[in-house]
């Protein structure tokens, strides 16, 4: 696959999610993403206002996370968080499913959890599964429930579990959602080679905090 | 220090926070804590109703977490989450501070974040610092802000960072809060010896998922 630097950057959600990053670090990370022309940044909810200020008028969208990184919050809390995030200026929301509900085969609850976030915000909703904890069958189920709930993307990982995006999982997720949703690879993506392989396997978004390192490898 | 088994168990918050635990696992964990006479369980918000059902009428309280484990949610979301948690039956709330606000020296925001959770729920509020990311000076500052905000406990860690409770940090936290707040040690507590040492250093609550293993060492 031949991709230009800019084509790749238009698939990169530049991730700034470590909870100990200071306002200064978030600011410079957002400036970097804007200068690089990344498609979006992904910041924690407490940094949405700051990111909006820096990215206003640029081609880099403000993204944030919902129920992150455990997914173990209630549906009510996730919906409130999504509603506020959009109100503050985030137009892309990466939410984590309730992994316990999925493991317990409470599929209606998993679906409703996603639906309420989709309904709470007009933004793009990406549904993080945290594949590290899931069987292949559970990944397929989570893809189907995400589609039924009206989500726009399915996403492999938070970046906070032991493992992240794999080629195999991306291929499975793309096969399951077809062209009905986007597929975002995230978690442990540190090199250009990895990013390209994940895109070849079916990803059309890459979440990484290593954007600088990846671009330097061009 | 000589403690009976029951004296120790009356200081143990039995932790059931792994996001992939199924309803069955939460159920048996709560039954275990009830039979052991633990002072409380600490479950994720999506499991509060289930825990309440099992612990009703026992001496084991239902606890949950707020803004967990990143602390990076907005104050609005944390307050909503705390309000709902109490409504659902949780009387102990372990909230995580906004680490980025503390690192950025935005002390008013850190304090308000805690205050809004305290005000949102009549329950006991324990404030988790996630000491792994903090300097000793920041730990002292976080203790003072927690007291000013009306919190009932200060707590070392979520159990999801690389390091957890240390003797040194517990001693520092106890020295700083004096008798004005409780001190909870959590994160990586796997043995009876560790638990006793942390109590000797000033802790009056222990958060652990290893309650069974610790009690077997008596």
* pLDDT greater than 80 at residue A200: yes
Query: Is B94 within 8 Å of chain A by CB?
Result: no
The yes-or-no answer on residue A136 being catalytic is: no
Question: If we measure between CA atoms, which residue out of A31, A38, A32, A37 comes closest to residue A53?
Answer: A31
Query: Is A23 within 8 Å of chain B by CB?
Result: yes
The yes-or-no answer on residue A155 being catalytic is: yes
Instruction: Say whether the ipTM exceeds 0.85.
Output: yes
Which of A 176-205 lie inside 8 A of B, CB atoms? none
Q: What secondary structure letter does DSSP report for A20?
A: T
**Model-level pTM?**
0.97
Torsion angles phi and psi, residue A98, rounded to 5: -85, 100
Region B114-134: mean pLDDT is 98
Question: pLDDT tens for residues B47-106?
Answer: 999 999 999 999 999 999 999 999 999 999 999 999 999 999 999 999 999 999 999 999
- Distance, CA of B13 to CA of A136 (rounded, Å): 34
**For residue A179, what are the contacts with CB-CB under 8 A and spacing of at least 6?**
none
Q: Do B70 and A23 count as a contact with CB atoms less than 8 A apart?
A: no
Handedness of CA B70, B163, B39, B47 (dihedral sign): positive
Q: Report the percentage of chain B scoring pLDDT > 90.
A: 99
Q: Do B45 and A20 count as a contact with CB atoms less than 8 A apart?
A: no
pLDDT for B171: 98
Question: If we measure between CA atoms, which residue out of A207, A203, A199 comes closest to residue A4?
Answer: A199
């Amino acid at each position: 696959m031949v991709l230009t630097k800019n084509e790749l950057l238009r698939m990169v959600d530049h991730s700034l999610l470590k909870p100990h990053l200071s306002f200064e670090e978030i600011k410079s990370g957002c400036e970097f993403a804007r200068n690089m022309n990344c498609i979006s940044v992904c910041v924690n909810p407490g940094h949405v206002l700051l990111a909006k200020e820096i990215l206003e008028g640029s081609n880099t969208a403000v993204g944030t996370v919902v129920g992150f990184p455990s997914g173990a919050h209630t549906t009510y809390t996730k919906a409130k968080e999504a509603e506020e995030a959009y109100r503050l200026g985030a137009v892309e929301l990466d939410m984590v499913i309730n992994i316990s509900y999925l493991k317990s085969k409470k599929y209606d609850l998993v679906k409703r959890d996603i639906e309420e976030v989709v309904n709470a915000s007009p933004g793009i909703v990406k549904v993080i599964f945290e594949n590290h904890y899931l069987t292949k069958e559970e990944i397929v189920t989570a893809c189907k429930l995400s589609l039924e709930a009206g989500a726009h993307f399915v996403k492999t990982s938070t970046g906070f579990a032991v493992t992240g995006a794999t080629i195999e999982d991306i291929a499975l997720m793309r096969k399951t959602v077809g062209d009905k949703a986007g597929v975002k690879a995230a978690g442990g993506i540190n090199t250009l080679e990895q990013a390209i392989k994940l895109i070849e396997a079916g990803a059309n978004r890459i979440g990484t905090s290593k954007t600088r390192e990846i671009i330097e490898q061009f």
